[in-house]
Structure 1
Amino acid sequence: MGRTNPTYRDHVRSIEERWGDYRRALRHQDQPHFDRLFEHGRQYADAAGYQNPTDPMVALLVSIALAQERRLAEVEQRLDAVDGALDECES
């Protein structure tokens, strides 16, 4: 017996396809950023699938926000390290 319900990954693929016209209407330089949002959403597919959300768009948005939060924290750490190195150079 096969699985009758679509998986979370299937939902993400479907959402991405539905937003295809929007993507094509974006400026060329914005399209890779749009694509990256869905990459972030797929990055947490295991956790989102485990959550089994009734609205997969919510899980996709939370996954994107989580990935963005993680990237922001990494950038802040790098800036703090650069700031610390500059402080040492000035001393």
Structure 2
Amino acid sequence: MGRTNPTFRDVLGRMEDEWGDFRRALRWRHQPLLDRLFTYAREHADAASHLNHPDQLAPVLVSIDLEQEDRIDELEERVAELEARLEDGPEAAETPVERER
């Protein structure tokens, strides 16, 4: 039997096509950012396809949120590491290249 609903990847591809005019109207520097959001959504296509949510935008937005949360966590860890180095003193805060000078 065939599927009664399109796959999430099909829905996402259609959404990306529908947003094409919006993308072209964005400033050049923002276009890659929009592309990245669709990449984030594709990263979770398998999980989203299991959801079969009636609002097709919902799993896209949650997928983007998940990826952004992951990036925030990574950046917070980096900031904490850098702050810890600064608290340990100026020698610890230097990068290996700066120490060689």
Same-fold call, TM cutoff 0.5: yes
One-letter amino acid matched to 1:79: V
Whose relative contact order is higher, 1 or 2, with alpha carbons under 8 Å and at least 6 apart?
A: 1
Which residue of 2 is the match for residue 79 of structure 1?
79
Which residue of 2 is the match for residue 35 of structure 1?
35
Q: Aligned residues: percent identity?
A: 47
Deviation at 1:35, TM superposition (A): 0.2
Deviation at 1:3, TM superposition (A): 3.9
| Structure 2 gap segments, 5+ residues each | 92-101
One-letter amino acid matched to 1:7: T
Which residues in structure 2 correspond to 1:7-86 (within 5 Å)?
A: 7-86=7-86
Q: Which moves more between the two structures, 67-76 or 3-12?
A: 3-12
Measured against aligned partners, the alpha-carbon deviations of 1:40-74 in whole angstroms (never above 9, x if no partner) come to 00001111111111122111001101111110110
Deviation at 1:4, TM superposition (A): 4.9
Instruction: Give the TM-score normalised by structure 1.
Output: 0.92
Instruction: Report the aligned-residue RMSD.
Output: 1.5
- SS of 1:33's equivalent in the other structure is helix
- SS of 2:53's equivalent in the other structure is coil
Which residue of 1 is the match for residue 88 of structure 2?
88
Deviation at 1:2, TM superposition (A): 4.7
Bigger Rg over Cα: 2
| Structure 1 gap segments, 5+ residues each | none
One-letter amino acid matched to 1:26: L
CA distance in 2, matches of 1:67, 1:56: 18
One-letter amino acid matched to 1:53: H
- SS of 2:6's equivalent in the other structure is coil
